[in-house]
């Protein structure tokens, strides 16, 4: 039986064409297949345009549209490929990892650093590898890019120009490509998806704040007054904040008592946050303050938005591994 793949296009560099205003996403899903007709030999392909945006314009509202499109297509497909701009692909892939718990087929994001029509484009190779992953039978949300397959919750864009744009942070890639094709690591059963009511419900009122020496504690009051319900805080090292002269710890505890939910992560890209180790971190344990462990910033932001979508029933899931976003022993 011929495998079935749905191609969902959302714009991005892969779909961009040169205009007087600069590169703009104009190539449709059908146009991608017309440019690469050999893809039709791999599967019975259904092509659909969900939206056509530069990924800088893709926000939580688009995540919900895309998640609905995936859900609608999943029953009629053996795998789904999503073409997406690279700038926010890691955010979208992470968000859908939480919004589509227990998805039974591969959902594979890909894109490119150069438009599909560029003579030196990386798009054809990335598309072929995305198709291979979509037909692998491995369920979950992934990014396939430049010979690597990465969990959607572990990908970070590392390069603005290099073709090897994404790295897998704090977890080896799910798979890789070489002359023999796709090689997948054994699936790690260390996370259990949360089967909750209305998993696509999210609340985008999350603020991301990176600490620097001398940060004024009053910034936390501004965040609270602006109506944010959640805060992802990139602290120093393992999770420290200064309290001499400018007492960030007391202020963070105060806004926590006022109802703001905070996920504390580290500015270090690799390894984890653990504010139980140093005295400068221990002061803000408890209440509505949670450690993000070894999550990427993208995963911390999207998981907190997802948790806030139904906080009463999802709060306890902030510290549980749901989609390979954090170590099982967090």
Instruction: Given the residues 203, 215, 221, 278, select the one marked as catalytic.
Output: 278
DSSP H or E segment with residue 141: strand 140-145
Q: Judging by DSSP bridges, how do beta strands 16-19 and 22-25 pair with one another?
A: antiparallel
State both tokens at 68.
Answer: 């609905």
- Per DSSP, what are the bridge partners of residue 43? none
Q: Is residue 13 among the annotated active site residues?
A: yes
pLDDT of residue 189: 60
pLDDT of residue 69: 98
* Residues contacting 113, CB < 8 A, separation 6+: 13, 86, 122, 161, 162, 163, 165
CA dist., res. 55 & res. 92, Å (int): 9
Q: Is residue 276 among the annotated active site residues?
A: no
pTM as predicted: 0.95
pLDDT of residue 192: 83
pLDDT of residue 243: 83
Q: Are 149 and 184 in contact (CB under 8 A)?
A: yes
Q: Domains (ranges, CATH) in the chain? A: 4-184 (3.40.50.1170), 206-319 (3.40.50.40)
Q: Is residue 215 among the annotated active site residues?
A: no
Rounded mean pLDDT for each run of 10 residues along the chain, 330 residues in total: 96 94 92 96 96 97 98 97 98 98 96 96 97 97 98 97 96 95 83 89 98 95 97 89 89 92 93 72 69 95 98 94 81
Instruction: Given the residues 13, 27, 92, 297, select the one marked as catalytic.
Output: 13
pLDDT of residue 327: 84
Q: Is residue 272 among the annotated active site residues?
A: no
* Residues contacting 102, CB < 8 A, separation 6+: 193, 195
pLDDT of residue 286: 61
pLDDT of residue 278: 59
């Amino acid at each position: 039986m011929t495998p079935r793949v749905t191609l969902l296009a959302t714009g991005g560099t892969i779909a961009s064409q040169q205009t007087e205003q600069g590169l703009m996403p104009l190539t449709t899903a059908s146009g991608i297949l017309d440019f690469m007709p050999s893809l039709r030999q791999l599967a019975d392909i259904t092509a659909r345009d969900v939206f056509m945006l530069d990924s800088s314009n893709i926000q939580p509202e688009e995540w919900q549209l895309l998640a609905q499109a995936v859900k609608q297509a999943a029953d009629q497909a053996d795998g789904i490929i999503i073409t997406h701009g690279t700038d926010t692909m890691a955010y979208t892939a992470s968000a859908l990892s939480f919004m589509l718990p227990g998805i039974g087929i591969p959902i594979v994001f890909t894109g490119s650093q150069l438009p599909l029509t560029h003579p030196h484009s990386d798009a054809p190779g990335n598309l072929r590898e995305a198709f291979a992953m979509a037909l692998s039978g491995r369920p979950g949300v992934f990014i396939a890019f430049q010979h690597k397959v990465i969990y959607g919750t572990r990908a970070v864009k590392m390069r603005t120009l290099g073709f090897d744009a994404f790295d897998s942070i704090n977890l080896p890639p799910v798979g890789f490509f070489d002359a023999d094709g796709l090689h997948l690591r054994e699936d790690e059963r260390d996370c259990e998806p949360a089967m909750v009511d209305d998993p696509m419900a999210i609340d985008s009122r999350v603020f991301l704040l990176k600490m620097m020496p001398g940060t004024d504690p009053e910034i936390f009051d501004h965040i609270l007054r602006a109506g944010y319900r959640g805060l992802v805080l990139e602290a120093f090292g393992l999770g420290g904040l200064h309290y001499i002269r400018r007492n960030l710890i007391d202020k963070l505890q105060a806004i926590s008592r006022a109802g703001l939910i905070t996920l504390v992560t580290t500015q270090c890209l690799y390894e984890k946050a653990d504010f139980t180790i140093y005295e400068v971190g221990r002061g803000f344990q408890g209440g509505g303050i949670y450690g993000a462990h070894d999550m990427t910033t993208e995963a911390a932001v999207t998981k907190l938005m997802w948790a806030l979508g139904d906080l009463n029933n999802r709060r306890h899931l902030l510290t549980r591994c749901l989609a390979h976003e954090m170590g099982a022993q967090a």
